[in-house]
Structure 1
Amino acid sequence: MNTPVAAQTSFSNLQAGSLTGKVVVVFGGTSGIGLAAAVQAKAAGAKVIVIGNDRTRAQQAAQAHGFEWRTADVTQSDAVHEALKEIPKVDHLVLLAGTFVAAKVLDGDVDYMRRAFEERVWASVHAIRALNGRMSSDGSITFISGVLADRPNAQGTAVLAAASAAMEALARGLALELAPIRVNTLSPGHVETPLLHKVLGDARDTVLPAMRASTPLKRLGTAEEAGAATVFLMANGWMNGTTLHIDGGVSLI
């Protein structure tokens, strides 16, 4: 009867202990899921460095939560190298940066659509190359994909869906190429974040209730829930080369 409680306590202790004193770098750590993950990693004893593309927001997040901070445009290799160059060692690298790139293939601007891959695949390559030799061998890298990787739609998200699916494939390949460093992907469903509100704009008061109603749990996920899943991928040393779906069951319908 006590086994589930004991197992839960054991997991909590493992999760907290495994991050104590570790250096965690979170790209996209100044808002939304990235900020939530950074806050929870800090609470678990990690030294956290957040990197965002907006200097003011990065500084404010760092001051509010006790992080170190940097700024970088993740699509620029030189900027990523500059942001990481003075960090002597990184235990856990989290790459959650990226905008919502939506345009239909037949009439969308190609340079704009290309950002879906630049902000995800190539930004990850830039960061991993920049940290070559400075990642802990027992550390981890966490990417982000999203429900579009499995459930694309006809609303101009084909390229974004492809970039999301590419992150999952990249993680699986790198889990072998970079071993014993672990590489995983977080795949969130509809999570209520500042980015979602920005994307929906004036339509959010209409669209958000419909999105909630369309999910099995009749609500959206929270940044804190997705952040906790990110911390789990960092902390659990047996998670490797996998995609963790945290979507409230959206991928089932």
Structure 2
Amino acid sequence: MRIETEPHNFFPIYDLGGQTVVIFGGTSGIGLATAAQAKGAGAKVIVIGSNEERAWKAAEDYGFDGWRAADVTRPGAVSDALRDLPSVDHLVMFAGSVVAGKVLEADVNHLERAFDERLWATVDAIRALGSRLQKTGSVTLISGRLADRPTAGGTAVLAAASAAMEALARGLALELAPIRVNVLAPGAVETPLMDRSFGPKRDEIVASMKKASLLGRLGEPADAASATMLLITNIWINGEVLHLDGGARLL
């Protein structure tokens, strides 16, 4: 990775030219915004999502270099999606749905999906790539505010899965060195996932969340994407969790 600076200019210009970035969950929300910014930085970008039509359309609209449709919870799906890639510089694992349900009430198979989509999909991807994951590259995972502050509304298992991603990153940073491994921990970001999670009450809930925010707003996908780009491109960040919640952890 080259970091170019002008004389007496301490603001680096990041260049991902010639590098391949693979983004699971790259067809909407934070993943899509990250893919667009990586493409803008010159990377060859491959997006992978659960829906074939959405993956194809994202690649077509943004000029990505490839797309895949894969259910990361299905055995073999992750390795199949990565099979034909000769090398990967940066792996971004942002796949994951809102798996909610109280431990005493929810179907266990449903709750297991929180770990399958996040932790085990990451393990599958790293094992599938093996030596094709370049030593000068990075792995970026995602957790969330729930890792620190779960709620009583059926988020215990999802919170556990989020916290597990942070622990996994620290262990992988040791195991995979010199490949860097970091975690983005966003707070509330306005993405299509909110539409699916909140349904007809979305606007009401979002308005309430904004009112309670220190900044009077929620995050945008572009905010989270620029933070992800920092984790991808800064070669001195390793084994870290970057909290991006507008100060919500202070409340």
Of 102, 105, 121, the match for 2:103:
105
Of 172, 175, 179, the match for 1:174:
172
- The percentage of counterpart residues that share the same residue type is 59
CA shift in 2, pair 1:215/1:8, >3 Å: farther
* AA in 1 matched with 2:224: A
| Cα drift, residue 9 of structure 1 | 5.3
CA shift in 2, pair 1:101/1:9, >3 Å: farther
* AA in 2 matched with 1:52: G
1:36 equivalent in alignment to 2:33: yes
Structure 2 unpaired stretches of 5+: 1-5
TM-score (norm 2): 0.95
User: Which residue is equivalent to 1:251?
Assistant: 249
1:22 equivalent in alignment to 2:19: yes
TM-score (norm 1): 0.95
Preserved CA contact (<8 Å) 1:27 1:94: yes
Which runs of at least 4 in structure 1 moved beyond 4 Å after TM superposition? 6-9
Q: Secondary structure at the match of 1:69?
A: strand
Q: Secondary structure at the match of 2:131?
A: coil
User: Which residue is equivalent to 2:119?
Assistant: 121
| Cα drift, residue 12 of structure 1 | 3.7
State the distance in 1 between where 2:27 and 2:129 align: 21
Question: Deviation digits for residues 59-85 of structure 1, max 9, x if unmatched?
Answer: 000001111101111112311111101
State the distance in 2 between where 1:133 and 1:74 align: 21
* AA in 2 matched with 1:207: I
Structure 1 unpaired stretches of 5+: 1-5
* AA in 1 matched with 2:61: A
State the distance in 1 between where 2:129 and 2:75 align: 12
RMSD: 1.5
* AA in 1 matched with 2:196: K
Greater helix fraction, Structure 1 or Structure 2: 1
Preserved CA contact (<8 Å) 1:77 1:126: no
State the distance in 2 between where 1:37 and 1:144 align: 12
CA shift in 2, pair 1:107/1:236, >3 Å: same
Q: Secondary structure at the match of 1:20?
A: coil
| Cα drift, residue 8 of structure 1 | 11
CA shift in 2, pair 1:63/1:158, >3 Å: same
1:78 equivalent in alignment to 2:76: yes
